[in-house]
């Protein structure tokens, strides 16, 4: 049976690589001078980052009034970006933790960069709750810490306080998980580096890795445990983020479907982002043998799955609103689709539900550029999903006298651009400094030197 | 010095347990050790704490002594070299009994915001007035005070006020000005040239007497009174029909049927606070029941009064007189007489019904007319006479002195000025170059006059053309009096020493008459000689004076107008007048509740106050009905040229105003004033900041050039104006963009398209069922959580009577003054970031050509289950034991989650640091209320500072807080007492009683946030519709 299987399925890593070949392939980008393409991408990203830094500095100096918010719409780009970035992060955790527990071996080619993406996305996300505050210099007040003001505690009933816990937990666990996964590879680089600063730095971070069987055994146990620890986060973090909305009284926010809806959406958007990045990375860094069409294919299938879940959530939400008999809720959903901001809803619906359906066709899945375009559209669509939830629920709520519109100022747009700048700057640096593919793990799934039936699965 | 002299062991050294070493026989000891070994213990006790610097210096050397004494002498000499920053700090040798630092004192006075002269209570704190409130003892305003009146406080602290007289535009001393004016007046006295004193109606009898005495020195001295918002036609009509130029007293409280032709008596007409109160007295559904008054309004634009009307008919301005004539004809027929004059076309059906109602309520009805058209007013007099209203709802025995201006006299004066015949012109309270048409011509003529003296407080348009500007005190700095309605006299007293080198008009005039008398003496003498004899309740003048000063008002015998019986001869002439018309559009110039005639153009509070009908702030605009705008393909904000041919044109942004006649363009007066140039930089400056002023550098455009003279009346309407669209746009700051409680049709849920935010009932339904008009929403009665918060003490709550609320917005300004709410400027208002803690929501219902309007004051509802409280991550908003939803500014980090989660959107965020640089204007800040910084949330607190003050007061007296002692700022000033605050746990309190009434409902009750504000349903005196119950406003 296994024979038949392997005949149909291609090996995970192509090109008939040997172990040494894998090591040198993955380490190559770190050991040569950066290419012109890299420099171009990096400079653009840093420019975007600097733009973000300048606008955020201006906004903190002048006041949050430099955003297009008003008395009715108190959140818009800020929380949209926050939820968007947190969502992006989720695919990384899903790939590295859940797929690890499910023994999905194809994950080995993408998990490292997906985890890096998680970290950078959480960093981007974490900025927004801080800078969206009227007095960001007091942001530390939302953490419970011993103080001389009573002591004055935080409000444990507030979803924003839960957010602070959820996100900091998420960041710490993701960082730990990522770092632990990196240790064997750091040691590889250490061993390849000439004596000097680079070598001592990698030596320091590889924590004296020797690669002995005992160490590998311990290492794999820790990795498994951490995977177990990270798994609930895939569900919990976005559930908690969704409570920011679900626990409120605002129609369009106040709905119990939001937690599963948000988790599905997060994984959906994260998968799309992973696809986007992977497709770029395999081309730019010549990793076609490691990130193969099969990877694209598998991830495309995950995208279809999550897209359908999100689509189901949209339909359920609408149905619930119409069926509830709640005047305000019904109106909010009709207003979302057909009101003055209906365009955002239709962007969301077409990018998130309609277009991903194309991926049912193997023909399209096997065309990387088409998958790339679709993944970009999903990113756009998922950003708009959050925008629709945040803004269209707020802008026309209970009292018609409060109804307003919202349009972002240049400051808000620049801040969003800046967050992309931060994300890509970090990611590009990561590609230069650290191995984008888990060398140790990939070697384990190579067909090299193994009986055939063990290879596929 | 004692320590330096090594007197350490002596008794004078500060030392613990000094009692022990005193010469007393009785020794006290605290421990056995101390008792046993006194010396050792003492040495130890002295070194127990760180040594003081003096002890270190306590070295008996000569050197140390010289050092110390040298320093002391040098210090003593140095203090003599510098000038202390306080120039005149004379402590109170005996603290005045009532002066307690940090406690407010209230003085009664008279409002000067307009000519209505309402009663005032000036709240002063540490010697400076910080709030103006209504005086409940005043017989006309009865505790109410309008928006403009309250905002006039800011004028006191206006840094742009003139601080000294101006001689030909240059700063001068009073001596110089007096000498120059005095010598010119001397010449005039000798040569006998005409002297004119041009003023708005002088409501102050003392001032009038001074002016008349001053003018009597000249051979030809005349006082010319003119009101920029003139009622001259009413007086002229009474001259024709009753033989006396008199403005009758209006008694809306006695009128069961009110018909108003273009008179905005709840908004701006003559004395709106007084009329609102009286009008509402006849419209309390609980008290009046069947006798609830019926109000029909005929107007061309939607006025505040029209919003309240039970029946509102939109009539083109030219057609108003024919409609009045119709009514006159119908009523005279009922009276069994035939109206003289030409036959009239058959009346509209609605007119028949109104005539029937009026006829039934003979003697208890009132027909008023705001037109500046003597013929129309003659017809109105005829109608009121036919209905027998004179003597009941129209009072000629207690005539009003609020508007006495004569347009005819003004026209004569203008002719005299143009011909250059006048030797001296004095201007007080008027600003003709901004208020008159053809101002350029007038300006040239004024400059040619030998002597023009203005008493303007600021350098306004006319003051710039005057030879001398002798700035008057602010009314809060000076002594004065008023007699708005004959028999009701009130006093004005200063609340603060004059802040600048100004001088009251009466003192200036008396100085130029050769006497130097202070305003106080003038007023007091006038009262002694003229007012005191008009009463006999009080035999001693001093007691009478003190009582009047305390109460602010006194009742004296009225001076009847000396009217003759009604003479119907002018009626025929009035009926045969041709009706003007023609042209596609007619222009209607109207005053806004905030800007009135423009005298408050310097006042940022009033500019920031959204108009209660259009909801637009910081501008005037061309109001067009939606149909008219569609006809001209104009959108809101497009600039349109209002062209009146030879008289000029105005470029104004368009505002769509439902309920307006399709052929009318309405423009507010009082804008485009020089005084508003100061707002060119208003509002927080940032990257996308937009200029708050128009191309002229001013707020709005002055519409006065389009006023029109007709039959010696300055009229506010004009036919045949042309509207042309320009390519420009001018964004308007409109604070409400959805105007109806009905959601757009394409988004309407299946459960109905109208939200029960405002509930209303028609009178017949209400009489059958007090709860008529209730929404059928289920109110959650069960809670998920146990009621674990003991709340046995007070629980503060509010009741807002939507039926009594006229939307006048007095509460908005009251709240702004009381709670130090910053002015954010036009740009921020346009971005929907207004800071007002209380706002007036205005909803239209019905088709645009026949709209019904409802106003709803909306503030923090102090919910029992406050959604804002649970979501704040830092506990910056929490619930008090007395049911208040408190906001802690210090703790707020500004996540704005609370505002998002507020179903009423009553929370306000400090988007920027709003300017507080004007140190003079900062004196108006209420020291009881924190000035908020950038990045924190704020909202209505139910005036918690007032609750606290009452609690302390009650605690001092050892008595519980009585109901009605705490009045929130919005409640205090409400002319119609629509807002009631109190303890809902006290079953006898007013607020409890109101909340138990059939009309009570709570907004958004169905989402179980449990608001503490009960609204009382609006009742309209309209016939029952078939689809009653669907009527949610």
Which residue from B152, B172, B154, B155 is spatially nearest to B163, judged by alpha carbons? B172
Average pLDDT, chain A: 87
Between vectors from CA B464 to CA B461 and to CA B465, what angle results, nearest 5°?
Answer: 100
Considering the entire predicted model, what is its pTM? Answer: 0.87
Contact A74 B875 (CB under 8 A): no
**What would the mean pLDDT of B217-234 be, rounded to a whole number?**
91
Which of A65, A144, A159 to mutate to test binding with chain B, by most B CBs within 10 Å of its CB?
A: A65
**Backbone phi, psi, residue B622, to 5°:** -95, 110
Domain spanning B752-777+797-1020, CATH class: alpha beta
Res. B422: pLDDT tops 60: yes
* Cα of A93 to nearest chain B Cα, Å: 27
From the list A68, A141, A394, the residue facing B893 with the nearest CB is A141
Nearest CA in chain B to A61: B912
**What would the mean pLDDT of B26-39 be, rounded to a whole number?**
72
Q: What is the pLDDT of residue B19?
A: 44
With 0-12 / 13-18 / 19 or more C-beta atoms within 10 angstroms meaning exposed / middle / buried, residue A221 is exposed
Reported as a pLDDT band with limits 50, 70 and 90, residue B46 is low
Q: Using an 8 Å Cβ cutoff, are A72 and A405 in contact?
A: no
Which chain A residues in 394-413 lie under 8 Å from chain B, judged by CB atoms?
A: 394, 396-405, 409-411
A:B CB pairs within 8 Å: 199
Percent of chain B having pLDDT more than 90? 54
Contacts of B688 in chain A (CB under 8 A): 66, 409-410
A130 in contact with chain B, both atoms CB, cutoff 8 A:
no
B740 in contact with chain A, both atoms CB, cutoff 8 A:
yes
Residues B637-652 as b/e (b if ≥16 CB within 10 A, e otherwise) read bbbbbbbbeeeebbbb
**What would the mean pLDDT of A408-424 be, rounded to a whole number?**
94
From the list B684, B749, B899, the residue facing A327 with the nearest CB is B749
Residue A151 in any domain: the answer is no
Q: What is the pLDDT of residue A123?
A: 92
Res. A358: pLDDT tops 80: yes
Contacts of A405 in chain B (CB under 8 A): 737
* Cα of A66 to nearest chain B Cα, Å: 7
Reported as a pLDDT band with limits 50, 70 and 90, residue B25 is low
Q: What is the pLDDT of residue B1014?
A: 94
Over residues B320-353, the pLDDT tens digits come to 888 888 888 888 888 887 776 666 666 667 788 8
Question: Whats the size of chain A, residue-wise?
Answer: 457
- Biggest CA-to-CA distance, chain B: 123
Residue A406 in any domain: the answer is yes
Which of B844, B893, B939 to mutate to test binding with chain A, by most A CBs within 10 Å of its CB?
A: B893
**What would the mean pLDDT of A44-49 be, rounded to a whole number?**
96
The alpha carbons of chain A give a radius of gyration, in whole angstroms, of 23
A141 in contact with chain B, both atoms CB, cutoff 8 A:
yes
Contact A62 B903 (CB under 8 A): no
Percent of chain A having pLDDT more than 90? 47
- Which of the residue ranges A71-75, B578-582, B770-774 would you say has the lowest mean pLDDT? B578-582
B894 in contact with chain A, both atoms CB, cutoff 8 A:
yes
Res. B269: pLDDT tops 60: yes
* Cα of B902 to nearest chain A Cα, Å: 8
Q: What is the pLDDT of residue B655?
A: 94
Contacts of B905 in chain A (CB under 8 A): 71-72, 397-399, 402
Q: Using an 8 Å Cβ cutoff, are B945 and B930 in contact?
A: no
Higher pLDDT, A435 or B6: A435
Every domain of chain B with CATH number 2.20.25.90 lies at 104-156
Q: What is the pLDDT of residue B12?
A: 45
* Cα of B875 to nearest chain A Cα, Å: 5
Contact A331 B1007 (CB under 8 A): no
Residues A367-394 as b/e (b if ≥16 CB within 10 A, e otherwise) read ebebbbebbbbbbbbbbbbbbbbbbbbb
Higher pLDDT, B25 or B658: B658
Res. B942: pLDDT tops 90: yes
| CATH for the B104-156 domain, from 3.40.190.170, 2.20.25.90, 3.30.530.20, 1.10.3080.10 | 2.20.25.90
A332 in contact with chain B, both atoms CB, cutoff 8 A:
no
Contacts of A139 in chain B (CB under 8 A): 893
* Cα of B957 to nearest chain A Cα, Å: 32
B232-400 has which fold? Dimethylsulfoxide Reductase; domain 2 (3.40.228)
Residue A157 in any domain: the answer is no
B757 in contact with chain A, both atoms CB, cutoff 8 A:
yes
Residues B456 and B461: their CA atoms lie apart, in Å, by 10
Q: Does domain B581-734 have CATH number 2.40.40.20?
A: yes
Over residues B731-787, the pLDDT tens digits come to 999 999 888 888 888 888 877 788 889 999 999 999 998 888 888 777 777 777 777
From the list A135, A330, A397, the residue facing B749 with the nearest CB is A330
**Segment of A36-40, A190-194, B245-249 carrying the highest mean pLDDT:** B245-249
From first CA to last CA, the distance across chain B in angstroms is 83
* Cα of A382 to nearest chain B Cα, Å: 22
Nearest CA in chain B to A59: B686
Contact B896 A69 (CB under 8 A): yes
- In this structure, is the dihedral angle defined by the CA atoms of residues B957, B962, B964 and B968, taken in order, positive or negative? positive
Res. B278: pLDDT tops 70: yes
Q: Which domain holds residue A286?
A: 2-146+170-454
Contact A134 B936 (CB under 8 A): yes
Under DSSP, is residue B256 helix (H, G, I), strand (E, B) or coil?
A: coil
From the list A65, A327, A401, the residue facing B684 with the nearest CB is A65
Contacts of B686 in chain A (CB under 8 A): 62-63, 65-66
Over residues B787-815, the pLDDT tens digits come to 766 677 899 999 999 999 999 999 999 99
Every domain of chain B with CATH number 3.40.228.10 lies at 232-400
- Which of the residue ranges B72-76, B112-116, B220-224 would you say has the lowest mean pLDDT? B72-76
Every domain of chain B with CATH number 2.40.40.20 lies at 581-734
Average pLDDT, chain B: 87
Matching residue, tokens 């140095």: B78
Res. A454: pLDDT tops 80: no
Q: What is the pLDDT of residue A437?
A: 84
* Cα of A59 to nearest chain B Cα, Å: 10
* Residue B160 CB partners (closer than 8 Å, separation 6+): B458, B602, B675, B678
CATH code of the domain occupying B166-229+406-537+550-555: 3.40.50.740
The alpha carbons of chain B give a radius of gyration, in whole angstroms, of 33
Contacts of A68 in chain B (CB under 8 A): 831
* Residue A27 CB partners (closer than 8 Å, separation 6+): A188, A189, A192, A435, A439
Number of domains in chain A: 1
A164 in contact with chain B, both atoms CB, cutoff 8 A:
yes
């Amino acid at each position: 049976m296994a024979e038949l299987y392997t005949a149909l399925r291609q090996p995970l890593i192509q090109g008939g690589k040997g172990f040494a070949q894998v090591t040198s392939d993955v380490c190559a980008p770190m050991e040569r001078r950066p290419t012109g393409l890299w420099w171009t991408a990096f400079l653009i990203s840093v420019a975007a980052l600097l733009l973000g830094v300048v606008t955020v500095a201006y906004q903190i100096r002048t006041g949050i009034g430099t955003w297009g918010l008003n008395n009715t719409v108190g959140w818009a780009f800020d929380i949209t970006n926050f939820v968007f970035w947190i969502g992006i992060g989720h695919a990384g955790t899903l790939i590295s933790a859940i797929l690890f527990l499910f023994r999905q071996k194809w994950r080995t080619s993408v998990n490292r960069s997906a985890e890096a993406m998680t970290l950078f996305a959480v960093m981007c996300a974490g900025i927004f709750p801080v800078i969206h505050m009227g007095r960001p210099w007091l942001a530390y007040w939302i953490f419970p810490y011993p103080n001389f003001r009573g002591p004055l505690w935080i409000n444990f009933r507030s979803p924003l306080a839960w957010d602070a816990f959820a996100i900091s937990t998420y960041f710490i666990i993701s960082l730990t998980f990522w770092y632990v996964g990196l240790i064997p590879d750091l040691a590889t680089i250490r061993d390849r580096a000439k004596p000097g600063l680079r070598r001592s730095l990698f030596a320091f971070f590889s924590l004296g890795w020797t690669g002995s069987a005992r160490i590998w055994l311990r290492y794999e146990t820790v990795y498994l445990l951490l995977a177990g620890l990270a798994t609930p986060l895939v569900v919990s973090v976005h559930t908690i983020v969704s409570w920011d909305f679900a626990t409120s009284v605002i129609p369009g926010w106040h709905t119990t479907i939001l937690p599963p809806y948000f988790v599905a959406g997060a994984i959906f958007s994260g998968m799309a982002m992973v696809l986007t990045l992977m497709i770029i990375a395999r081309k730019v860094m010549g990793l076609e043998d490691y990130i193969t069409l099969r990877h694209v294919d598998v991830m495309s299938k995950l995208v279809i799955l999550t897209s359908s879940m999100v689509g189901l959530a949209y339909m359920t939400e609408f149905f619930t609103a119409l069926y509830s008999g709640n005047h305000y809720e019904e109106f909010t959903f009709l207003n979302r689709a057909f009101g003055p901001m209906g365009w955002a809803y239709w962007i969301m619906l077409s990018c998130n539900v309609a277009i991903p359906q194309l991926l049912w066709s193997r023909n399209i899945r096997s065309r990387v550029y088409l998958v790339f375009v679709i993944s970009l559209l999903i990113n756009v669509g998922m950003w708009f999903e959050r925008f629709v939830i945040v803004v269209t629920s707020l802008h026309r709520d209970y009292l018609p006298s409060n109804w307003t519109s919202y349009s972002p100022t240049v400051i808000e747009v620049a801040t969003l651009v800046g967050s992309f700048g931060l994300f890509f700057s970090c990611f590009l640096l990561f590609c230069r400094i650290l191995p984008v593919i888990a060398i140790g793990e990939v070697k384990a799934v190579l067909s090299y030197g193994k009986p055939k039936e063990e290879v596929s699965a | 010095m004692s320590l330096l002299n090594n007197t350490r062991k002596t008794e004078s050294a500060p030392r613990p347990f000094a009692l022990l070493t005193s010469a007393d026989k009785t020794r006290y000891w605290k421990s056995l050790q101390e008792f046993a070994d006194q010396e050792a213990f003492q040495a130890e006790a002295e070194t127990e704490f760180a040594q003081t610097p003096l002890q270190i210096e306590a070295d008996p050397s000569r050197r140390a002594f010289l050092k110390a004494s040298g320093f002391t002498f040098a210090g003593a000499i140095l203090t003599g070299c510098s000038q202390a920053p306080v120039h005149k700090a004379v402590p109170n040798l005996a603290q005045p009994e009532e002066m307690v630092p940090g406690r407010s004192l209230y003085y009664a006075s008279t409002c000067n915001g307009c000519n209505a002269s309402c009663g005032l209570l000036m709240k002063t704190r540490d010697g400076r007035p910080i709030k103006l409130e209504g005086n409940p003892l005043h017989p006309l305003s009865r505790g109410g005070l309008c928006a403009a009146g309250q905002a006039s406080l800011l004028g006191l602290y206006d840094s742009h006020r003139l601080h000294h007289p101006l001689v030909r535009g240059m700063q001068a001393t009073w001596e110089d000005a007096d000498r120059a004016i005095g010598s010119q007046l001397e010449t005039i006295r000798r040569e006998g040239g005409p002297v004119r004193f041009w003023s708005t109606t002088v409501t102050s009898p003392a001032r009038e007497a001074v002016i008349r005495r001053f003018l009597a020195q000249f051979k030809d001295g005349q006082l010319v009174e003119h009101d920029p918002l003139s009622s001259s036609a009413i007086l002229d009509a009474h001259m024709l029909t009753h033989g006396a130029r008199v403005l009758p007293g209006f008694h809306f409280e006695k009128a069961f049927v009110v018909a108003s032709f273009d008179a905005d008596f709840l908004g701006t007409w003559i004395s709106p606070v007084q009329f609102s109160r009286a009008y509402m007295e006849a419209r309390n559904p609980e008290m009046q029941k069947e006798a609830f008054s019926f109000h029909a309004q005929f107007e061309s634009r939607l006025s505040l009064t029209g919003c309240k009307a039970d029946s509102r008919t939109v009539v083109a301005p030219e057609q108003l007189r024919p409609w009045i004539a119709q009514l006159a004809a119908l009523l005279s027929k009922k009276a069994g007489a035939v109206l003289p004059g030409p036959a009239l076309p058959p009346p509209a059906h609605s007119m028949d019904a109104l005539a029937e109602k009026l006829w039934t309520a003979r003697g208890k009805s009132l027909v008023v007319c705001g037109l500046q058209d003597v013929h129309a007013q003659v017809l109105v007099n005829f109608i009121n006479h036919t209905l027998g209203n004179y003597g009941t709802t129209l009072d000629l025995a207690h005539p009003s002195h609020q508007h006495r201006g004569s347009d005819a006299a003004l026209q004569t004066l203008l002719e005299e000025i143009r011909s250059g015949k006048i030797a001296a012109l004095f201007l007080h309270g008027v600003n003709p170059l901004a208020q008159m048409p053809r101002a350029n011509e007038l300006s040239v003529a004024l400059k040619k006059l030998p002597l023009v003296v203005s008493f303007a407080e600021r350098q306004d348009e006319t003051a710039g053309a005057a030879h001398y500007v002798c700035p008057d005190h602010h009314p809060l700095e000076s002594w004065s009096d008023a007699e708005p309605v004959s028999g009701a006299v009130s006093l004005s007293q200063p609340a603060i020493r004059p802040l600048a080198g100004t001088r009251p008009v009466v003192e200036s005039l008396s100085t130029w008459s050769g006497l130097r008398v202070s305003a106080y003496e003038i007023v007091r003498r006038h009262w002694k000689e003229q007012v005191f004899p008009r009463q006999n309740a009080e035999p001693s003048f001093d007691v009478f004076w003190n009582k009047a000063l305390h109460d602010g008002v006194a009742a004296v015998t009225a001076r009847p107008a000396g009217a003759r019986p009604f003479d119907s001869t002018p009626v025929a002439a009035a009926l045969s007048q041709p009706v003007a018309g023609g042209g596609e559009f007619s222009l209607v110039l109207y005053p806004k509740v905030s800007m009135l005639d423009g005298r408050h153009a310097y006042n940022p509070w009033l500019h920031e106050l959204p108009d209660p009908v259009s909801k637009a702030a910081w501008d005037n605009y061309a109001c067009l009905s939606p149909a008219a705008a569609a006809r001209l393909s104009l959108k809101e904000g497009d600039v349109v040229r209002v062209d009146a041919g030879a008289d000029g044109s105005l470029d104004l942004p368009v505002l769509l105003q439902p309920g307006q006649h399709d052929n009318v363009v309405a423009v507010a007066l009082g804008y485009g004033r020089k005084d508003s140039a100061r707002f060119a930089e208003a509002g927080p400056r940032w990257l996308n900041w937009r200029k708050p002023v128009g191309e002229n550098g001013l707020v709005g455009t002055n519409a006065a050039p389009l006023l029109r003279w007709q039959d010696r009346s300055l009229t506010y309407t004009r036919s045949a104006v042309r509207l042309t669209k320009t390519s420009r746009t001018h964004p308007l700051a409109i604070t409400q963009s959805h105007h109806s409680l009905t959601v757009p049709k394409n988004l309407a849920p299946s459960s109905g398209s109208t939200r029960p935010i405002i509930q209303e009932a028609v009178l017949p339904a209400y009489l059958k069922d007090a709860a008529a008009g209730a929404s059928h929403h289920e109110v959650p009665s069960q809670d998920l959580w146990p009621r674990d918060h003991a709340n046995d003490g007070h629980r503060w709550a509010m009741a807002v009577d939507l039926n009594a609320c006229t939307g006048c917005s007095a509460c908005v300004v009251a709240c702004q003054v009381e709670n130090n709410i910053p002015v954010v400027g036009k740009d921020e208002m346009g971005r929907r970031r207004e800071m007002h803690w209380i706002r007036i929501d205005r909803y239209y219902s019905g088709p645009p050509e026949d709209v019904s309007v409802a106003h709803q004051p909306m503030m923090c509802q102090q919910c029992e289950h406050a959604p804002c409280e649970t979501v704040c991550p830092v506990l910056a908003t929490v619930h008090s034991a007395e049911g208040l939803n408190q906001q802690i500014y210090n703790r707020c980090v500004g996540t704005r989650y609370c505002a998002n989660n507020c179903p009423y959107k009553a929370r306000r965020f400090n988007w920027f640091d709003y300017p507080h640089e004007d140190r003079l204007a900062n004196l108006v800040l209420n020291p009881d209320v924190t000035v908020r910084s950038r990045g924190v949330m704020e909202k209505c607190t139910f005036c918690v500072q007032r609750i606290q003050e009452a609690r302390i007061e009650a605690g001092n007296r050892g008595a519980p807080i009585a109901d009605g002692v705490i009045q929130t700022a919005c409640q205090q000033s409400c002319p119609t007492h629509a807002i009631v605050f109190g303890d809902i746990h006290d079953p006898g309190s007013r607020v409890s009683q109101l909340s138990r009434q059939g009309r009570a409902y709570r907004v958004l009750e169905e989402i179980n946030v449990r608001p503490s504000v009960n609204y009382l349903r609006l009742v309209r005196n309209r016939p029952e519709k078939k689809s009653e119950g669907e009527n949610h406003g």
